[in-house]
Amino acid sequence: MASDKVQAIDDAAFTATISSEIPCLVDFWAPWCGPCKAIGPVIEDLAEEYKGKVTILKMNVDDNPVTPGKYGIRAIPTLILFKSGEVVDQITGAVGKKQLVDLISKAL
């Protein structure tokens, strides 16, 4: 989501960042996507609540074609949870906060 509260990540930094042992939730979004905008406030809340425990990042799929291609992303918003470089689970669509909290809990 286009917010400054959630740190943006690009193709170049991606692999190194998700290889961390600290779980990492990446929000794949684009500026033309309404539902991406819709879940923006929820992602911001989560970034605040999980500070230090889970790294929450956003990737603009327009500017970064490599990573979305690698993970077969064909719909946005898609949120993928990583731990030590591996995909733990993922979710697509403008889901509610509870579903995202449940997703994150799989890596904690």
Q: Which of residues 42-81 bind other proteins (CB under 8 A)?
A: 42, 45, 62, 72-78
CB of 86 to other proteins, least distance (A): 17
Q: Which of residues 81-100 bind other proteins (CB under 8 A)?
A: 90, 92-94, 96-98
Cα 5 from Cα 2, distance rounded (Å): 9
The catalytic position among 9, 18, 33, 59 is 33
Our answer to whether residue 24 is catalytic in this structure is no
Q: Name every residue whose Cβ is closer than 8 Å to that of residue 36 and which is 6 or more positions away in sequence.
A: 1, 27, 29, 30, 76, 77, 94
The structure tokens listed for 47 are 């970034």
CB of 91 to other proteins, least distance (A): 8
Q: What are phi and psi of 59, to 5 degrees?
A: -125, 125
Quick note: the x/- pattern for other proteins over 10-39, rule CB under 8 A, is --------------------x-xxxxxxxx
* Number of residues located near other proteins, criterion CB under 8 A: 28
Q: Of 56, 100, 99, 94, which Cα lies nearest the Cα of 76?
A: 94
Q: What are phi and psi of 4, to 5 degrees?
A: -85, -10
Q: Which residues are catalytic, by number?
A: 33, 36
Q: Which residues of this protein are in contact with other proteins, per CB under 8 A? A: 30, 32-42, 45, 62, 72-78, 90, 92-94, 96-98
